[in-house]
Amino acid sequence: MKRTEFYTGLFIAFGLFCFGYVALSLGGLRLFGDKRYKIYADFVSTSGLKPGAVIEIAGVQIGNATDIELKGNKARLTFRIDSSVKLPTDSAAAIRTRGLIGEKFVKITPGADDAVLKAGEEITETDQVVDLEELIGKYMFDKKDETPKGKK
């Protein structure tokens, strides 16, 4: 009887450890060393991008946006990029949306420069966000009264 209780307790402890590890990993916390480096990019607007957003090149996730803060009049994004990915210094970053109203992510277009960004450096080429809500609002509310002349 004692043997069964021991193995049951061991099984439950192992299950809780695995659950905790997966929960922390999905939350972005690395327990056994973080093999990523930090770079920055400044945007005029992040337009709804949230910390934890995916960073990708050619549709492949290479990291996450970990922090968004105000620097002067711009939004500064902090990226954590996998150490195996080497970004040329002339790479460009753009905030995009999946589908019509999907989640926001950062798309990086690698440049052709031989020099690569090192930890703590900045992507200087950023594209302004095309905000669909803003475009629709301008179209709907900035239209002038277009009733034909002579008709009321």
More confident: 53 or 34: 53
Total number of domains constituting the chain: 2
Q: Which tops the pLDDT comparison, 30 or 84? A: 84
* Alpha-carbon span 50 to 103, nearest angstrom: 9
Q: Which range marks the domain in which residue 69 is found?
A: 36-132
96 and 43 share one domain: yes
Evaluate if residue 14 carries a pLDDT over 90: yes
Q: Are residues 91 and 109 in the same domain?
A: yes
- Reported residue count of the chain is 152
Tokens representing residue 32 in the block: 């056994």
pLDDT level of residue 25 (50, 70, 90 thresholds): low
Is 40 inside a domain boundary? yes
For residue range 50-100, list pLDDT tens digits in order: 888 899 999 899 999 999 999 889 999 999 999 899 999 999 999 888 877
Does residue 10 belong to any structural domain of this protein?
yes
Q: How much of the chain exceeds pLDDT 90, in percent?
A: 36
Average pLDDT, the chain: 83
More confident residue, 39 or 2: 39
In the predicted structure, residue 130 carries a pLDDT above the cut 70? no
Pair 23, 85 in one domain: no
Q: What is the dihedral of CA 50, 56, 61, 67, to 10 degrees?
A: -30
53: nearest Cα among 40, 66, 43, 37: 66
CATH number at residue 52: 2.40.10
Clarify whether residues 94 and 114 are in a common domain. Answer: yes
The reported pTM is 0.66
- What pLDDT sits at residue 18? 87
- Supply the pLDDT for residue 13: 93
pLDDT band at 128 (very low <50, low <70, confident <90, very high): confident
**Is 151 a domain residue?**
no
Using a 10 angstrom Cβ sphere, with 0-12 exposed, 13-18 middle and 19 or more buried, the burial of residue 6 is exposed
Same domain, 16 and 44: no
Q: Are residues 2 and 56 both part of a single domain?
A: no
66 and 114 inside one domain: yes
